[in-house]
Amino acid sequence: MSAHTPKVGFVSLGCPKALVDSERILTQLRSDGYEVVPSYDQADLVVVNTCGFIDAAKAESLEAIGEALNENGKVIVTGCMGAQADEITNIHPQVLAVTGPQQYEQVVGAVHQYLPKPERKHEPFIDLVPPQGIKLTPRHYAYLKISEGCNHRCTFCIIPSLRGDLVSRPVGDVMDEAERLVSAGVQELLVVSQDTSAYGVDTKYRTGFWQGRPLKTRMKELCDAMGDLGAWVRLHYVYPYPHVDDVIPLMAEGKILPYLDIPFQHAHPDVLRAMKRPAASEKTLDRINAWRDICPDITLRSTFIVGFPGETDAQFEYLLDFLDEAQLDRVGCFTYSPVEGATANAIHPAVPEEVKEERLARFMEKQVAISARKLQQKIGRELEVLIDEVGLDGSIGRTQADAPEIDGQIYLLDDVNVKPGDRVRVRVTDADEHDLWGERIKP
């Protein structure tokens, strides 16, 4: 590229859904002729995509903005925290512009304003942008966002106020993107949204078209179609609607991965009602058992909140008992964070911070023991593994039970004759509470 090509730095914070937003902005900037660079000193301007979900995320976003200002000086802010522009400009009045989540045209327009597009003629979709767009993940896996926003009003969450109500992408557009990604070498599609199982609710499950054939805008039909592309398909952020049961047979058939990321958040009915979440833990256990009957290898991942306002000792003990009964495979847990704007902040009494931390420690101690037992049961099994990294001492991959960044890994010591993106058969030889070790089964 010529020396006068305008250069943009990019800082992407937050969840995989925000990462997809970053990828979309970067793809447009590259198509407009900008060069994306990896350091502040190389950049003519820096874009920071923020997270505003909880106070800790806001603090991280404000720190990242400050660092970009100190290191570069020309900063445009976008993302979830951009919906609360005053919080940013009160602390960092030097920022050039602030745009909110999903405002792709506005943030690209701000870049055009403060760093004009190159005048030279270019062919963006030939020499600048690969067919799958710009990806911030390794080339063998990609996040695929199928909708924006959420219709729920969980009392601990401000996402609907930041991103609005549910808007599902046309099913043909989703499938076209999935096909482009797989054609470009992606081996794993990680399906994300604010509420994956609500896909199509806003369109009344309208029938769309893909490659000339009708296809309903609904999670089951989307999963069925994606399962024919040949890549791993992993579902994240699945709200526990009754129709989630319909995708379990697809997992048993091997069409999509036997993996369900379903945030239960709590187990006690009173706490769930206060959260405005489904409130029947007995039915949840029945459904878990039914899923395992249909698909014995299913991996269940969930997240929980402890220290929610009003949570009593008895309600927390109920949650621990639920963990014993549910025997979930992968679990994340967080203490309640009183993010500004969450209606749960008005619930009393608030749980003291030291009690929250003690409950978090007890929760994780119990779940670590469950995880260790379940992983020990995998020793001796032969599993398909997707290779993520290869180093001097061996390679690291993930089984179908492990999503990138949040779950465990499997280590293949001294095995360097593979490459990232390879899918290989591995015999598990050892395990701890988080990870596995194994040996590749050579053909």
Mean pLDDT, each 10-residue run in order, the chain (443 residues) = 74 78 81 84 92 82 93 91 87 91 82 82 41 62 87 82 85 91 90 90 92 92 95 92 92 96 92 84 86 96 93 96 95 88 88 95 95 95 94 93 92 91 95 94 83
DSSP β-bridge partners for residue 326: none
- How far apart, in whole angstroms, are the C-alpha atoms of residue 248 and residue 416? 36
Structure confidence at residue 343 (pLDDT): 86
Structure confidence at residue 18 (pLDDT): 75
Residues of the chain within CATH 3.40.50.12160 domain(s) are 7-114
**pTM tops 0.85:** no
Residues of the chain within CATH 3.80.30.20 domain(s) are 141-377
Whether 14 and 27 have beta carbons less than 8 Å apart is answered as no
**150 in a known ligand binding site:** yes
Name the architecture of domain 141-377: Alpha-Beta Horseshoe (3.80)
Structure confidence at residue 195 (pLDDT): 87
Task: For the domain made up of 381-440, give the CATH fold.
Answer: OB fold (Dihydrolipoamide Acetyltransferase, E2P) (2.40.50)
List phi, psi (to 5°) of 438: -160, 175
DSSP β-bridge partners for residue 206: none
Residues of the chain within CATH 2.40.50.140 domain(s) are 381-440
Structure confidence at residue 135 (pLDDT): 54
CB neighbours of residue 116 within 10 Å: 9
The residue assigned the tokens 């709200």 is 239
Structure confidence at residue 128 (pLDDT): 40
**295 in a known ligand binding site:** no
Structure confidence at residue 127 (pLDDT): 41
- How far apart, in whole angstroms, are the C-alpha atoms of residue 280 and residue 268? 8
Which of left, alpha, beta for 206 (phi over 0: left; psi -120 to 50: alpha)?
A: beta
20-29 b/e (C-beta count within 10 Å ≥ 16 → b): bbbbbbbbbb
Structure confidence at residue 281 (pLDDT): 65
Structure confidence at residue 119 (pLDDT): 64
Structure confidence at residue 357 (pLDDT): 95
Superfamily classification of domain 7-114: Methylthiotransferase, N-terminal domain (3.40.50.12160)
List phi, psi (to 5°) of 13: -115, 165
- How far apart, in whole angstroms, are the C-alpha atoms of residue 197 and residue 237? 8
**80 in a known ligand binding site:** yes
- How far apart, in whole angstroms, are the C-alpha atoms of residue 197 and residue 182? 23
